[in-house]
Every structure is written in C-alpha cells, then in structure tokens.
Amino acid sequence: MSLKTTAIIAAKKAGKELLKLSDEKIKYRLKKKHDILAEADLKSEKIIINEIRKHYPAHSILSEEMGQDLNTSNYLWVIDPVDGTINFSRQLNDYCISIAVAKKNELILGLIYNPVTQEMFIAEKNKGAFLNGKKLKVSNENKTINMLLATDNSSNPQIRKNNYRILQKVCTDFRHIRIFGSGALHLAKVASGKIDAYYKTKFNYWDYAAGVLLVQEAGGKATDLNGNNITTKSKSIIASNGKIHQQIIRILKK
C-alpha cells in the first residue's frame, strides 16, 4: 500500500473515532475537559500509528503524544492526532488530524483531514496540493495592506502576551487578522488562497509538517522568522503566498 493511501486510511479511521468521542463525551467537558482531550489524542494517535505499523513497521514516527521512536529508517512519519484541541473540546469545527512523511529529512507527503467537514488536504512532493481532488493554489495578493494574516495563541501566558505585542504593532499593516485555533488548518487555508499569510513565534514540528508541504506545493513559501527552511528544530514559522515573503518577515520582526 502506498504512503498516501496509508495516510488517508489512517486519517479517516482516526477522524471517525474523534467524531464519536465528541458526541459521547462533550457533555462532560466542563468537569473533565483535560481527560477528554487526553483520551481523544491518545485514541487518535493509536489508530494512526497502528495503521502505519501495519504497512511500514520499520519506519520512524514522531508524534505529539508518543514523541519519537528509535527506528533509524530514512522515512519519518510526523503526526498530530488532534490539532485544535480547544476547538474540539467546544465542538467547534476547526480541528484536524495532521500526518506528514519525510524521506531523508525532506517532506514528501502532507495530509490534513478535518473529520467534521470531511475536507481532505493532500500534498505530494512535486505533484501539487489538493483539497478533495481539486488542485489548490495560493492567493495572488502582493500588498500587505490587502492581506489577510492569521496566527495562533498559546496556553503559555508569556508567549500569548508576546503575540499580542506583535499583533498590536502590525495590525495596521494588514487588512485583517484571523485566529482559527488550528495551526495545520491555518496552513491549509494559506494553500487554498483563503488567507494570504500565517505566522507563529513558538511551535512544534508535528503541528506544521504537513501544512508546510501543502503551502509549498500550492505555490507558496514557508520558512522560520529568519527566512530559514522549516526543520524539526525550527521554533517559528511564517507561511505565505510567497509574493512578498521577505517583506512580511520584516514587518513581523519590526
């Protein structure tokens, strides 16, 4: 079975379980919210990893809950079993499953699946990016004053405070600011041309690996805030339609 087919099957199986958990457990969210989220993350992760192990037992895996295994394969699966957990806990639609595959440190497959809307974003290296089979293309906007900029908040008060400081400085440079609560879906929206740029100052690789390839294959650009390529060790991200990427970086760093 191909990498792509394996990822699709894993995402759909995990998505089905997340929908079930949301329906069954949401009435307890005020009392046991963290338990619900832990259960959702762990169940989704287990389903995805089991599917990968069934077809590619020697491949390495990096996941939010499990961390990284000790396999030394050239292939690395990067998993976020639930991206947008706060949205999930409140039955908001903006959450997803993110699965990426890297070969010798180069991303070759990225998949983002929203089980609520059944939107399946898929990108393969040098093959383009697609939403449910429809080819994606980033926006053509080349003036920041007309751009829609997105970002994410953090549960860490200090990081959140710093983010608000940045937003306060740059809010007049862009047309509007959006926060949807899922980094992976933000990147999917950049790839779709629905928003023009997205940034975050602190992040985890599993949140963004799939989305980075989506943006690139849709004609956009993704780097850290110093203009370097995204790697497993990157600590910031800026993704855009690529038209004025360096200008956006300069604005965010001013």
As a whole number of angstroms, the distance between CA 131 and CA 241 comes to 17
Please list the residue range(s) of the chain that carry CATH number 3.30.540.10.
3-135
What is the CB neighbour count within 10 angstroms for residue 235? Answer: 13
Please state whether beta strands 75-83 and 221-223 pair in parallel, antiparallel, or not at all (unpaired): unpaired
Q: The whole model's pTM is what?
A: 0.93
Judge: domain 3-135, CATH 3.30.70.120: no
Q: Rounded to an integer, what distance in angstroms lies between the CA atom of residue 250 and that of residue 254?
A: 6
Q: What's the whole-number mean pLDDT along residues 91-110?
A: 96
CATH topology of domain 144-252: D-Maltodextrin-Binding Protein; domain 2 (3.40.190)
37 pLDDT tier (thresholds 50, 70, 90):
low
* Listed residue (185, 195, 18) closest to 110, CA to CA: 185
Is 32 a residue whose pLDDT tops 80? no
Instruction: CATH 3.40.190.80 in the chain: give the residue spans.
Output: 144-252
d(CA 50, CA 44): 10
Q: What is the pLDDT of residues 45-93, one digit of tens each?
A: 999 999 999 999 999 999 877 777 756 799 999 999 999 988 998 889 9
